[in-house]
DNA sequence: ACAACAATGCAACACTGTTGCAAAATTTAT
DNA sequence: ATAAATTTTGCAACAGTGTTGCATTGTTGT
């Protein structure tokens, strides 16, 4: 378990620090996406708030996690697949937010469909967020 | 012009106040969506920040405007179509955010497609945000 | 014009996110 | 293993966003 975390950090050319290991482990343990506040609560007073912000930024830049657009305008993060890297993200999957339990899921196997836009509009990224009832709450 | 604004407020059983008239006129003038901060800047020191927040809330509740899910996690509002009312919103259209000019558009004629979800997930709302280059910037 | 009611401004507060800088930890070179 | 070079962290300070309570003001219907 700890091995996998250290390997992940090494693979991304990041120095091995307590905060990074712990924050990364929270993502590996979680089944849904995590908000900054979630990590802050899970970590207690272990790290400074600022450290969490900077660690999340770093992880995003390295392609280890990705942000999720949410309808309630909170920022959430989830682990990326192995295919993702610093340059290339593979964020073409649908995200699901449960109205009941609040969990946000990456539906990795549900691909966002393309839509035809009006004349002159050029799509670069498509984000589809589905809200409703998740499989655990139904 | 002023007539239309007063009518819209009356139709929604809202008392006619300076703030509501001005804020509503900003939406009628704008071609894209507006954030709270946009209205604050347009209004100068005319109203208190809190009044703007409360007015926006009221307009949303009455079905006059709707919030737009954005990828940069800012809250933006746009005028609803006439079909929208306090109970029923018709928010099944795609939204577009221009990476160049930052404008957010309601693409009223582009409908969000349905997607097949994994077993146990039940969709209640679908929000599709497309980012890219708008017709004015291309 | 008046009473009843609703909306506003102000103050205070909580939460989110960013930056600069000194101290501490990690990595690299000796 | 030690020391130097580089990164990361914690702290403090700050700006922005959004909410609430309460007294004051404005709007509405009679
Ligand atoms: Mn995802
Ligand atoms: Mn819209
Ligand atoms: Zn759920
Ligand atoms: Zn544009």
Tell me the chain B residues in contact with residue A113 when contact means C-beta distances shorter than 8 Å. Answer: 113, 115
Closest CA to B94 of B67, B124, B130, B125: B130
pLDDT of residue B88: 66
- Residue A16 burial class via C-beta count within 10 angstroms: exposed 0-12, middle 13-18, buried 19 and up: exposed
Report the pLDDT averaged over residues A84-113: 86
Q: Taking CA B39 as the corner, what is the angle to CA B36 and CA B45, rounded to the nearest 5 degrees? A: 115
Residue A84 has pLDDT above 70, yes or no: no
Count of CB atoms within 10 A of residue B38's CB? Answer: 15
Q: Could you give the percent of chain A with pLDDT greater than 90?
A: 82
pLDDT of residue A40: 95
pLDDT of residue B73: 84
The mean predicted confidence, pLDDT, of chain B is 92
pLDDT digits (tens, 9 = 90+) for B59-110: 999 999 999 989 888 999 999 876 666 666 677 899 999 999 999 999 999 9
- Rounded distance from Cα A86 to ligand 4 centre (Å): 27
Q: Could you give the percent of chain B with pLDDT greater than 70?
A: 93
Residue A89 has pLDDT above 70, yes or no: no
Task: Specify the residue for token string 């940069």.
Answer: B72
pLDDT digits (tens, 9 = 90+) for B36-47: 999 999 998 999
Residue B36, CB, strand D, below 7 Å: yes
Report the pLDDT averaged over residues B109-114: 94
Which among B67, B110, B121 has the least Cβ separation from residue A135? B121
Q: Do B133 and A112 touch (CB under 8 A)?
A: no
Q: Going by C-beta distance under 8 Å and a sequence separation of 6 or more, which residues neighbour residue B129? A: A69, A126, A127, A128, A129, B68, B69, B70, B71, B94, B95, B96, B97
- Rounded distance from Cα B34 to ligand 4 centre (Å): 14
- Name which CATH class applies to A2-132: mainly alpha
pTM beyond 0.85, yes or no: yes
pLDDT of residue B82: 65
Residue A107 has pLDDT above 90, yes or no: yes
Count of CB atoms within 10 A of residue B82's CB? Answer: 10
């Amino acid at each position: 378990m700890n091995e996998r975390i250290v390997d992940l950090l090494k693979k991304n050319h990041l120095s091995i620090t307590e905060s990074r290991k712990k924050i990364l482990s929270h993502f590996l343990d979680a089944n849904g996406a995590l908000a900054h506040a979630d990590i802050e609560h899970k970590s207690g007073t272990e790290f400074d708030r600022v450290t969490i912000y900077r660690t999340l930024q770093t992880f995003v830049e390295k392609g280890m996690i990705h942000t999720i657009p949410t309808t309630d305008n909170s920022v959430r993060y989830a682990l990326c697949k192995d295919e993702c890297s610093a340059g290339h993200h593979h964020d073409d999957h649908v995200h699901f937010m449960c109205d009941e339990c609040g969990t946000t899921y990456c539906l990795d196997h549900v691909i966002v469909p393309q839509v035809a836009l009006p004349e002159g509009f050029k799509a670069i990224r498509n984000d589809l967020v589905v809200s409703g009832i998740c499989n655990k709450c139904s």
